[in-house]
Structure 1
Amino acid sequence: MELAHNLTLNEEVVKGLPDHKKDIFIFEWLQFLEKVLTALNRADVKERQKTLTNQLTALLTKSPGPPTRCLIAECLATLFSIGDTSPLFSTIDICNDIIKNRDDSPSYLPNRLAAITTIGVLYEKLGRMVGRSYEETVSLLIRSLKNAESQGRYEVMKTLQRIVTGLGSAGKNVHKEIYKSALKHLVDSNMSVRSSASKCVKALIPESQAILHTDVETIVSTCIRAFDSSTTMLDVMWHSCWPTYSLNVSR
């Protein structure tokens, strides 16, 4: 697999590989790229950034599995943090378009999950560098929950948590929308979705105290309903109730 250890993906080699080896080759290349990018200077990254951005975004529509899509996301975030940030917005648009696609076939699901994961990592790592593009993205993610299967709901909740973490108080105008969606999925039928929703609510607490302190009773009652086989809800209850409790004691 030495041929995979190049800064850019050797597409000619990939074309000549049998199908069952292509994914392995691409995964090896992504692992190498993730390591080498952090060691390069800004000038070297910018020199190859356009090619790398095109290659990485193209992989989003190649049905990548969970480890591969995480590496794609991490490589793109590192690429933009070191190099030029101008392609960041077109990359977010590409991810949004993939999420918007109404193809509900099982074969398209990995593409959508890859786009959702990438969006989350970009917002978490780059934060306020994304500008106001987060408003459309958040609205799109929440709308996609209506017809999403459990894996999709889990990834969306995880991505919303990353958006809250990355933007901090700068994203306060979408916090209420995210909060309502996360609260609803605290009682989701799937336990992994409940867990990711609870972490999303927990991430919101230090950023959106004006919203959450008025809804402590609602949060606690929802968490109690979601307690079935879950321990993550204890964290949400503690972090939502303690600030209000301590404020009352100080008075």
Structure 2
Amino acid sequence: MMELSHSLTLNEEALQQLPAAKRPIFVFEWLRFLNKVLGAANKSDIKGCQQKLVSQLVSQMAECPGPPTRQLVAHALATLFSVGDTYLLFETSNKCNDVLKNKDDSPSYLPTRLASVTCIGAMYEKLGRMMGRSYEDTVQILLKTLRNAESQLRIQIMITLEKITAGMGTAAANVHKDVYKAAKVGLTDRAMPVRRAAAMCLLELSKHAPFLYTSELENLCQLCYRSLESSSSYDTRCSIAKLLGSLLATTQNPPKEVLRAIQSGGKGGGGTLRLVSLEEALGLLSTGFLRGGNSFLKGT
């Protein structure tokens, strides 16, 4: 029966004939096959069934998928729109947003919300600026959801904000400060994986928002030290250290366009752009090793 899962669209008739316990496995096998096929497909191959495919993939979000399944659904949706037509792209994005707008915060609805956030991230990462200005609403919905989300959802939202930042680049400059504020809070979250995701989000943001390593550099360095001080996870400390090191390194080797903007007296999202000197950068780094304050040696 499982060989019937190897089709471009989900064989719903075969799925219904299976016992309830085997249906998730059938769907998982179909998604694995679909992702392999879509990777080598061209537009003409999927033109006739794209609408049905989108509908079937979106419907899987409501089936409370586990992490592997939702990753496959997200990847398939993103690939489908990159290979095929994009006429259903914004409708699909809105459906994902609608899931997050739903007030149901019960544990049983959490997998659906996680799947929705994962799909949003995959589409922005893969399609980038093809998503248009829909990112404005999406980011605000994600940030609103973040306020009362439990740890799993906070992690996934941070990962998705990172992907939106990567996909949209400087085109999303008007939401960079909002993302920055949310990621700063995430950097001191009680859950270590959230801190790690927030650090990676800030690292990606620093590639597109110069104010992180100019006007906000000192504040962000101090926040990194506070986060390091209370981080109990090795992976989390490594992520924060990578962020801190990258910020300080960028001050000495900024992108050419940022350097030109500084030389012409330009401004960034956080105010007038100014790079610190090497001595100042090392001074900021050394504060982490001084006794007291927000250093590593506090209380020793």
2:117 partner letter: I
Report what 1:114 is aligned to: 115
Report what 2:59 is aligned to: 58
Most deviating of 205-214 and 114-123: 205-214
CA contact (8 A) 2:213 2:248 kept: no
CA contact (8 A) 2:70 2:115 kept: yes
How do residues 60-209 of structure 1 correspond to structure 2 at under 5 angstroms?
60-209=61-210
- What SS does structure 2 have at the residue aligned with 1:231? helix
CA distance in 1, matches of 2:93, 2:155: 20
CA contact (8 A) 1:150 1:193 kept: yes
Displacement, 1:86?
1.1
1:234 partner letter: A
TM-score (norm 2): 0.81
- Higher helix fraction: Structure 1 or Structure 2? 1
Report what 2:245 is aligned to: 238
How do residues 9-48 of structure 1 correspond to structure 2 at under 5 angstroms?
9-48=10-49
Displacement, 1:249?
4.7
Displacement, 1:212?
4.1
1:143 partner letter: K
CA contact (8 A) 2:213 2:251 kept: no
- What SS does structure 1 have at the residue aligned with 2:96? helix
TM-score (norm 1): 0.97
Q: Which stretches in structure 1 are left out of the alignment for 5+ residues?
A: none
Percent identity between the aligned chains? 48
Once the two structures are superposed, residues 62-111 of structure 1 have per-residue CA deviations (whole angstroms, 9 ceiling, x without a partner) of: 10100000000100111100110110000000000001111011110000
Displacement, 1:136?
0.2
- What SS does structure 1 have at the residue aligned with 2:215? helix
CA distance in 2, matches of 1:128, 1:24: 35
Aligned residues: 250
Q: Does 1:49 align with 2:50?
A: yes
CA contact (8 A) 2:212 2:220 kept: no
Displacement, 1:163?
0.3
CA distance in 2, matches of 1:196, 1:249: 28
CA distance in 2, matches of 1:210, 1:219: 10
CA distance in 1, matches of 2:7, 2:110: 29
CA contact (8 A) 2:211 2:217 kept: no
- What SS does structure 2 have at the residue aligned with 1:84? coil
For the structure 1 residues 150 and 218, does the alpha-carbon distance in structure 2 shift closer, same or farther, using more than 3 Å as the test?
same
Displacement, 1:244?
2.5
CA contact (8 A) 1:213 1:240 kept: no
Most deviating of 217-226 and 197-206: 217-226
CA contact (8 A) 1:168 1:207 kept: yes
Most deviating of 33-42 and 101-110: 33-42
Once the two structures are superposed, residues 23-57 of structure 1 have per-residue CA deviations (whole angstroms, 9 ceiling, x without a partner) of: 00000000000001122221111111011000000
Report what 2:285 is aligned to: none
Most deviating of 138-147 and 208-217: 208-217
CA contact (8 A) 1:172 1:208 kept: yes
